[in-house]
Structure 1
Amino acid sequence: MKSALPSTAYILQIHKNPAQVNTFISQLTATDTADVYVHIDKKNYDEVSPKINRSPRINVLEESCNVKWGDISQVDATIMLLRKVLTSKVDYDFVCLRSGQDLLVKNGLKVHLMENPNKIFMSAKFIHDRDISAAHVNMKWFDSARRQYNTFHPLRVFRSIMLKLYKKGLVLFPNRQLMPNNYLLYHGSSWFCIPIEVARFIIDFIDQNKWYYQYFKNALCPDEWFFQTLVMNSKYADQVANDNLTYLKWGEEYNNSNHPINLSFKDIDSIEKSNKYFARKFDEREDVAMINYYSEKVCM
């Protein structure tokens, strides 16, 4: 390590609530060993961008993509952020991907990274090709099927049917892109914290192996497979801690079962018992007191 504490590039994907994002950025930059790179969803760029704080340590990307739930655009935004970090020429130790609805909820992250300088904090679970969830990448999903439907919708029913047919061995829309036979699939949460060496590897690999991006281009929720599969099929697999340092709470109702739900004060006990450094999702429009609580309590 170059200093007592590791230097970290935090890369954020955001789309709303600029005041809340600024609170999170203030947490991340409370020490002088962190910079922040921000990608703003193209749909909301003109509205949100002027409201994000600027400083030499806060870099808002001028370019952006239209991020949609369930498709490759989430991967595109992450790749854009990684490229921005790598072209900055700053010698960071870690790159940490977060959303604009995260907050730090526990002090000591910098020390934890210092004590684990080679660890890849990323959730990654091996998925067999015949597992029902492998249909997310082994099938070609058309655009309207790669959308978040929180109520009853024919395309949500269609997805469910396609998954069940895949489980039975009937693949109506196979992914025609080729993956090497020795590649195994891994699935996990989108968010990660990785050594800068691994970030360089990811960008170098996808630049030199165009087939890899194409394989995931029409997948369903490829952000939960793309980086996990790449890292776990590399020489870095043994460094994966299978922990992305994040607490989240999944919905249990039909209208919210496919995404994390917003946290509130009643979740504080569960958050703090989890021993995680980050939590999501927070929303200032629903519980600003929760955001104020952690902004005052936690600053790295």
Structure 2
Amino acid sequence: MKKNCILIAAHKNHNQIIRLINHLKTDFDLYVHIDKKSTLDIKSFDNVNIYKKYKVYHGGVSQVITTLFLLKEAAKNNYDRYIFISAQDVPLKTNKEIVDFFDTNKNKEYISYENIENSEAIYKEMSFRINAYNFGKLYRKLLSRKFRELISNFPPIKRITPKNIYYGSSWWNLTNNAIQYILDYIEQNPNYLKRFNYTWGSDEFFFQSILLNSKFKDNCVNDCLRYLVWNGGTPFNLEMKDYDDIKNNINDNLFARKFDENMDNDIIDKLYKDLENSN
């Protein structure tokens, strides 16, 4: 068993996933969940554990449930560090550099976060996301935001914004102590997970709000260790034209996202080649 594990959420691009797995598995135990709706068919091998248990919907609580499933599977082995990435990530540091980074920062929890009360605009937007009922893509497409907000304010079903809510990136890098605390908290507070049912983007509130309201707050570093470029509420697909910006802004970023082999496989090839040349 390796001392660090990587959890991977996957749903497409077979060759890209296999390349990522083969690169990481020499130094990390891997726990990979493939969206049950996907046509991908990959079997477990070596220290790579493949699951296809849940249908995962973008922005839905199914993303949280799937992540918790991977965490529970991995936590059986008490790893030092749990790193959660997407199958569309590409490493920017070698495996050894990643291991060494966490060896040097043993007790730090790397997770991006912001209190939703930091500004009136943020509070208004995040309260809408937390309180407005999300019944899926078709529901959001057919009904305007104003109408969805009106429905959600109907007294019998109206939800109130909880206190001390934090949000941030879905992707994080946490210690075993933090993971055990999260799993214990959920077991002891089953209504916490239920509160995020029908909440848009619940994965961007769920883990931050547990840790930043706990004894782990002082250990949290506001950094998910990812290079990404935002396009509104979603990251751009990075291409060869972004290569120089990626390399010039690596800093402590261990991974970059997101990439798509069907859009630009050359950038993926080049970044992996850089890693090979670094070894």
TM-score of the two chains, using structure 2 as the length reference: 0.87
Name 2:133's counterpart in structure 1.
Answer: 141
Q: How many residues align?
A: 267
Amino acid across the alignment from 1:272 = K
Deviations 1:197-250 (A, max 9, x none): 111111111011011111111211100000010110111011111100001112
- Establish whether residue 187 from structure 1 lines up as the match of residue 171 from structure 2: no
Amino acid across the alignment from 1:125 = E
1:35/1:160 CA distance change after superposition, 3 Å: farther
Structure 1 contact 27–104 (Cα < 8 Å) conserved: no
Name 2:270's counterpart in structure 1.
Answer: 293
Q: CA offset at residue 102 of structure 1?
A: 0.4
Name 2:33's counterpart in structure 1.
Answer: 39
Q: CA offset at residue 48 of structure 1?
A: 1.1
Structure 1 contact 136–219 (Cα < 8 Å) conserved: no
CA distance in structure 1 between the aligned counterparts of 2:125 and 2:148, rounded to whole angstroms: 11
* Structure 2: segments with no counterpart, 5+ residues: none
1:58 paired residue among 24, 28, 48: 48
1:286/1:134 CA distance change after superposition, 3 Å: closer
Deviations 1:36-56 (A, max 9, x none): 000010101xx3123x6x432
Percent of residue pairs identical: 30
2:233 paired residue among 252, 255, 258: 258
CA distance in structure 2 between the aligned counterparts of 1:82 and 1:146, rounded to whole angstroms: 30
Amino acid across the alignment from 2:91 = L
Name 1:268's counterpart in structure 2.
Answer: 243
CA distance in structure 2 between the aligned counterparts of 1:235 and 1:71, rounded to whole angstroms: 28
Structure 1 contact 27–298 (Cα < 8 Å) conserved: no
1:198 paired residue among 175, 178, 182: 178
Structure 1 contact 126–187 (Cα < 8 Å) conserved: yes
1:106 paired residue among 93, 102, 108: 93
1:162/1:95 CA distance change after superposition, 3 Å: same
CA distance in structure 2 between the aligned counterparts of 1:290 and 1:142, rounded to whole angstroms: 36
Name 1:254's counterpart in structure 2.
Answer: none
Structure 2 contact 130–200 (Cα < 8 Å) conserved: no
* Structure 1: segments with no counterpart, 5+ residues: 1-5, 252-256
1:160/1:241 CA distance change after superposition, 3 Å: farther
CA distance in structure 1 between the aligned counterparts of 2:126 and 2:158, rounded to whole angstroms: 11
Name 1:159's counterpart in structure 2.
Answer: 145
Name 2:84's counterpart in structure 1.
Answer: 97
1:78 paired residue among 67, 72, 78: 67
Structure 2 contact 109–175 (Cα < 8 Å) conserved: yes
Runs of 4 or more consecutive aligned structure 1 residues displaced over 3 Å after TM superposition:
144-147, 160-163, 170-173
Name 2:213's counterpart in structure 1.
Answer: 233
CA distance in structure 2 between the aligned counterparts of 1:92 and 1:195, rounded to whole angstroms: 8
